[in-house]
Chains A and B, each alone.
Chain A
Amino acid sequence: QKEVEQNSGPLSVPEGAIASLNCTYSDRGSQSFFWYRQYSGKSPELIMSIYSNGDKEDGRFTAQLNKASQYVSLLIRDSQPSDSATYLCAVKSTSGTYKYIFGTGTRLKVLA
């Protein structure tokens, strides 16, 4: 089982729709969760971080965390073509290993 799993996509959504990206993780000791965006040929950049169960909203982005189900999601409202990128889920464990592990990413395409 991979430590952090994401559907590779591509996930195609029309402009203005809600894009829903999902991530599961295996280490129950994980405490910190992140979503990074990576445009083609560029390095990843942080979009959202979430540390406690529930929802966290920042502009058009909402991160959702369910530690019991070991599940993290990212919702992008009013998707724009400029949102087309690969979205990487990252998990930081504090249970002794302090590893910062990334999923393989989900490629999002927003169709104009």
Chain B
Amino acid sequence: EAGVTQSPTHLIKTRGQQATLRCSPISGHTSVYWYQQALGLGLQFLLWYDEGEERNRGNFPPRFSGRQFPNYSSELNVNALELEDSALYLCASSPRLGLGANVLTFGAGSRLTVL
């Protein structure tokens, strides 16, 4: 069974540009979570999508946005990039129902560098 896949692995952008990161959940999983992990700051909750809808978002400005597609894959968009957006962006998926809904399986992450 394929795990959570994220692309691209690495992305280099300059200030003011836009970045798009993509995530494919495990087959059968309907929930997708996005986290930002900046150096030394732990995982900061960004967004939670389930069944195509945004269910919750963390304390990030509106230039962080995303969507979930009918096949449950997701993309994270970061507009007007700032230097402090440089981080590892982790996507995780879980089933919607049952005990498995409590367990997140993470992808390998996309490392965004803003110059």
- A interface with B by C-beta (< 8 Å): 32, 34, 36, 42-46, 49, 51, 88, 90, 92, 97-105
Q: Are A34 and B43 in contact (CB under 8 A)?
A: no
Given A43-B90, A88-B42, A97-B56, A102 and B106 touching (CB < 8 A)?
no
A contact patch SS: strand
Number of interface residues of B (CB under 8 A): 20
- What would 6 more interface pairs be, CB under 8 Å, given A46-B105, A99-B48, A102-B42? A43-B109, A45-B106, A49-B103, A51-B102, A88-B43, A102-B35
29 pairs of residues in contact across A and B, judged by CB atoms under 8 Å: A32-B102, A34-B102, A36-B104, A42-B108, A43-B90, A43-B107, A43-B108, A43-B109, A44-B90, A44-B104, A45-B106, A46-B104, A49-B102, A51-B102, A90-B104, A92-B102, A98-B48, A98-B55, A99-B45, A99-B48, A99-B56, A100-B33, A100-B45, A101-B45, A102-B42, A102-B45, A103-B42, A104-B40, A104-B42
Q: Are A43 and B106 in contact (CB under 8 A)?
A: yes
Query: Smallest distance from the beta carbon of B48 to chain A beta carbons, Å?
Result: 7
B residues 26-61 in Cβ contact with A at 8 Å: 33, 35, 40-43, 45, 48, 55-56, 58
Q: Enumerate chain A residues within 8 angstroms of B55, measured Cβ to Cβ.
A: 98
- B interface with A by C-beta (< 8 Å): 33, 35, 40-43, 45, 48, 55-56, 58, 90, 102-109
